[in-house]
Amino acid sequence: MADERQVIEREQSQEIIAPGYTFGTITDQISAVVLTKHTPLFWMACFGVGIGLLMLLLWSIALLMTEGVGIWGIRAPVMWGFAITNFVWWIGIGHAGTLISAILLLLNQKWRNSINRFAEAMTLFAVACAGMFPLLHLGRPWLFYWLFPYPNSTGVQPQFRSPLVWDVFAVSTYATVSALFWYVGLMPDLATLRDRSQNPVARVIYGVMAMGWRGSARHWSVYETASLLLAGLATPLVLSVHTVVSFDFTIAIVPGWHSTFFPPYFVAGAIYSGFAMVLALAIPLRAVYGLQGLITDKHLENAAKVMLATGLIVGYAYVLETFTAWYSGDVFEGAAFWNRMTGPYSVNYWSLIAFNVVLPQGLWFKRIRTNPVTLFIWSIFVLIGMWLERYVIIVSSLAQDYLNSSWGEFHATRWDWATYLGTIGLFLFLFFLFIRLLPMISIFEVRTLLPQAKVEEEARR
């Protein structure tokens, strides 16, 4: 590797990987996180919190199964409450992973290579959390298979004119494609772990999962085609899944829901919260595992810029939504928004404006964008803001619609909170298992970022 030495010492313009890395050191550093016997305290703490909250989730679900959905605060007229709020929030978070892995791949954005793996894992686990809520909300979750068209004894099939059925297909397709994409991308790295692992059991497990990957030219050619195809499949999903989720609202005639700009508004919101989650995960992880050389400040800044852009779209949507309510002259629409701003949910509404629109304006400043600590705090603001947004849309619209006589308020019970926190626990549990057992950064894709990966390319010119 005499050539490699010379290339390393050459001046590098890229900021998406620290200078001084070689193919070997990249592989060493990323695989060491998994192959070491040492588990950092940070991991133990996060995994512990995850398990604790997961137990809370199991407890809440057991109670839900025995007592029914009445343990939640959902009462007429607000029958959607926390469950659907959390569903939309989680599924939105997943969108950043798909955007990073698919759209940025097709757009040839090299900086995605260092963050796509854990962002895709985040997508998978967020979709798992999201998928639980509509099922638990069914009342009889064990009959969830009624949602699918299958040969049955009733002679009827799901109502295909209902957006709730579209949702089933949108989310299950999303979960399938995300899982496939993530797994296909993992295979070369699983082979690396198989070859490097000292433990015979781990070697066999990684070996089975690597499906016989040997890194031959033919393997790579098939791999490139497969990942490109999957990226092509996943790209429309970034837009379509949250569009379909927004149809759950817009197809209904409830004031505050029934509007045509919900799809772009929801997709922007999804990517907004998703990038916030990417930052909230990446910042502590790179600090604990010393990965600042691979997930650089440039990555954080890029993600912050995406957040700023999507945040502005979301802010624009709030303005437009309010304007339309007034300009349409629709009494009910106007009243819905007036109630939202001044009624029982005004505190939630104004906090969401503060968290989603006002505070993120700080991201215009480079000092906030490039400081990991402030950026972490800002991403948490956005996560809270986006949760509040869904809460306000769902609860305030249902609580006060056309008939004053049937107005009511939603009050979350402790089991609403327990289920919500429980899914955060499930997410942490799965995510930290992933961190410990699989390479959190794509080894082979980061290696292509090195200048020496382009030696041959340059030589050919």
Residue 212 C-beta: closest distance to another protein, Å = 7
Closest CB to another protein among 152 and 162?
152
The secondary structure of the chain in percent helix, strand, coil, rounded to multiples of 5, reads 75, 0, 25
Binders of another protein in range 123-162 (CB under 8 A):
151-156
Distance CA 88, CA 390 (A): 7
Residue 130 C-beta: closest distance to another protein, Å = 25
Distance CA 298, CA 296 (A): 5
Closest CB to another protein among 152 and 361?
152
Binders of another protein in range 225-244 (CB under 8 A):
none
Residue 202 C-beta: closest distance to another protein, Å = 11
Residue 155 C-beta: closest distance to another protein, Å = 3
Closest CB to another protein among 71 and 209?
209
Residue 144 C-beta: closest distance to another protein, Å = 16
CA dihedral over 186, 192, 195, 200, signed as positive or negative: negative
Binding residues for another protein, rule CB under 8 A, total 14
Binders of another protein in range 282-321 (CB under 8 A):
none
| Torsions phi, psi for 407 (to 5 deg) | -65, 150
Instruction: Label residues 342-369 b or e (16+ Cβ within 10 Å = b).
Output: ebbbeebbbebbebbbebbebbeeeebb
Q: Are 116 and 440 in contact (CB under 8 A)?
A: no
Closest CB to another protein among 155 and 329?
155
Q: Are 389 and 89 in contact (CB under 8 A)?
A: no
Tell whether residue 207 is a contact of another protein (CB under 8 A).
yes
Residue the block writes with tokens 């007036």:
338
Residue 78 C-beta: closest distance to another protein, Å = 24
Closest CB to another protein among 214 and 454?
214
Tell whether residue 329 is a contact of another protein (CB under 8 A).
no
Distances (CA, A) of 82 to 174, 267, 336, 390: 22, 20, 20, 9
Residue 151 C-beta: closest distance to another protein, Å = 6
Closest CA to 295 of 7, 9, 10, 15: 15
Candidate residues 4, 195, 297, 409; the one interacting with another protein per rule CB under 8 A: 195
Candidate residues 24, 48, 70, 212; the one interacting with another protein per rule CB under 8 A: 212
| Torsions phi, psi for 78 (to 5 deg) | -95, 90
Candidate residues 44, 55, 211, 453; the one interacting with another protein per rule CB under 8 A: 211
Residue 78 forms beta bridges with which residues?
Answer: 75
Residue 221 C-beta: closest distance to another protein, Å = 20
Q: Are 283 and 255 in contact (CB under 8 A)?
A: no
Distance CA 5, CA 20 (A): 10
Closest CB to another protein among 104 and 191?
191
Decide: helix, strand or coil at residue 15.
coil
Closest CB to another protein among 1 and 204?
204
Candidates 83-91, 110-118, 136-144, 199-207; binding stretch for another protein (CB under 8 A): 199-207
Residue 31 C-beta: closest distance to another protein, Å = 16
Tell whether residue 194 is a contact of another protein (CB under 8 A).
yes
Query: Which residues contribute to the site for another protein (CB under 8 A)?
Result: 151-156, 194-195, 203-204, 207-208, 211-212
